Structure 1
Amino acid sequence: MGDFTFWWQHLPSQMNPVILSFGSFALRWYGTMYIIAFAVVYLLARYRLRSESLPFSRPFIGDALTWVMLGVILGGRLGYLLFYGLGALIADPLGTLLPWSTASGGCAFSGISGMSYHGGLIGVAVALFAFTKARKTGFLETVDLFIPAVPLGYTFGRLGNFINGELYGRVTDAAIGMYFPMAGTHQLRHPSQLYEAFFEGIVLFVILWLLRRRSPFPGFLSAVYLFGYGLVRFFIEFFREPDAHIGFVAFSLSMGQLLCLAMMLAGVSLFFFTSSSAKKVRTR
């Protein structure tokens, strides 16, 4: 048992975020997890089309997910800058948005550092809204097509965070804690990335997947997702280390928790709005 505990607690220092490299090019686990996440959502949406006789075509799924990818990248980056790096955005708007650096006088690819889940969620909503308007299809129906699969895809993103050794948890004395080299202090910390992968990912996926055939009206699954994710992450944030440059924002709550409260409120509002709209349609 002691050997396993030692291995577990020192696992982050044994993981390499780079899968393989060719010269200056490096294939990283984090980016690969994004690809796997989109593939999972695509395949599960395809499965739903075959098994549930939904009014969408196979090309529709690929086209919609193309817009979703754009929304995730732009929304995730902009959301991070607005929620967690507003000072940097004001100081250097172009430099913080573009993945290139001109600090050395040249132009080099520096990558994108900092993505916000909540910003990505807003970006996806905007992208899908524009997509469904262009296709003249229902927005909520389209979101509900993909939403049961989203948590499982999200699981891989959090595993990517874990392999990167980032977004680690707060200090703990529990044996489940791990030593994260990027934390700066040699203290056991909660593996909050794994908590999120399990509860926000797998558990929420199981709930939504079981409910997908019992959805009483368009928007129901989306409302359950918004409230469920917000609720679970709100509590997991008590185990996650707040961003060092922000800390606690209000009432000893992190920025993530405040955004999750807004997310839960949005879920409840969406539920009552869509359920009342469905009742009006049935009583006509």
Structure 2
Amino acid sequence: MLSYPDIDPIAVAIGPLKVHWYGLMYLLAFGTAYALSTYRARKPNSGWTDQQVSDLVFFGAMGVILGGRFGYVLFYNFGQFLDDPLWLFRVWEGGMSFHGGLLGVMTAMGWFGIKYKKNYFDVADFVAPFVPIGLMFGRIGNFIGGELWGRVADPAVVPWAMVFPRADDLPRHPSQLYQAGLEGLLLFVVLWFYSSKPRPRMAVGAAFLLGYGILRTFAEFFREPDAQIGFDLFGWMSRGQLLSIPMIVVGLVLLVVAYRRNKMAPTSA
């Protein structure tokens, strides 16, 4: 069994200015997304400009923050919102949802597409490969903050199990790191190489939905369900898994449609 590292939640302190690790992870996520998307945009015939990338990252960041907060309130703690509506705006108390952030980003992409007259799915295909690397930083932030810990594990079977002080004295899976590796690094590598060659419109975005849905559903078997919710659906599925299943279905359908349209294009032109 490993000891959970005692990490100061404040990464940098300069006088009264304090930068928390979680906030720093968000900066790294958006900064990395900007660097990678700029790299792709500067390739010949990409159809993207630096200004468009800059605006897209800004729109996406707003979508992540606003959607993530609204999603957490709606999907995970709606009861608290009903009791205290102003809690929605107390973001410093914590509470962000990936699925809400995804809906926020999808909305932001639509707004961006209208502004620059770009097809919605072209925007989604361009954005999709950069999302997982941001998720990786977010999960690392969860680990540093000692939150969203895993389920109880047997140290004899899982020697890397650790005790999270904010949970209890039981050894648990470091599920935040599992998610960082699966939904973050692994999915990023797969999508980066998959999108490095021309694919049918919608295919890259669909691959993200499908891949994330599958990996999140798997990783959730090692993560402790949210205390205020527990298990959904027959007492064994978490809220995160319940929200990820539609992503698998939609991603699979869009992927099939993308390739079928691609095959039919020459004969229907």
Q: How does 1:265-276 map to 2 (within 5 A)?
A: 265-276=249-260
User: For the Cα contact (< 8 Å) 2:161–2:172, is it kept in 1?
Assistant: yes
Aligned equivalent of 2:187 = 204
Aligned equivalent of 1:104 = none
Please state if 1:133 is matched with 2:114.
yes
> How many Å separate the matches in 2 of 1:168 and 1:51?
41
Aligned equivalent of 1:11 = 4
> How many Å separate the matches in 2 of 1:216 and 1:158?
29
Could you say what secondary structure the match of 2:110 adopts? helix
Q: How does 1:115-154 map to 2 (within 5 A)?
A: 115-154=96-135
> How many Å separate the matches in 1 of 2:4 and 2:115?
48
Q: 1:112 to 1:137 in 2, by over 3 A?
A: farther
Correspondence for 2:151 among 162, 170, 194: 170
User: For the Cα contact (< 8 Å) 2:231–2:239, is it kept in 1?
Assistant: yes
> How many Å separate the matches in 2 of 1:271 and 1:213?
17
Could you say what secondary structure the match of 2:11 adopts? strand
Quote the offset at 1:53 in angstroms. 3.0
Quote the offset at 1:266 in angstroms. 1.6
> How many Å separate the matches in 2 of 1:266 and 1:126?
17
Could you say what secondary structure the match of 2:43 adopts? helix
Provide the TM-score with structure 2 as the length reference. 0.93
Q: 1:111 to 1:24 in 2, by over 3 A?
A: farther
Cα RMSD of the aligned pairs, angstroms, is: 1.6
User: For the Cα contact (< 8 Å) 2:41–2:53, is it kept in 1?
Assistant: no
Aligned equivalent of 1:220 = 203
> How many Å separate the matches in 2 of 1:160 and 1:72?
15
Q: How does 1:182-261 map to 2 (within 5 A)?
A: 182-183=166-167, 185-251=168-234, 252-261=236-245
Provide the TM-score with structure 1 as the length reference. 0.88
Cα-to-partner distance string for 1:96-134 (whole Å, 9 max, x where unaligned) = 2213xxxxxxxxxx6151000010001100111111112
Could you say what secondary structure the match of 2:166 adopts? helix
Cα-to-partner distance string for 1:43-84 (whole Å, 9 max, x where unaligned) = 111111233531011110010111111110111011001110
Q: 1:172 to 1:214 in 2, by over 3 A?
A: same
> How many Å separate the matches in 2 of 1:125 and 1:131?
10
Correspondence for 1:98 among 81, 89, 107: 89
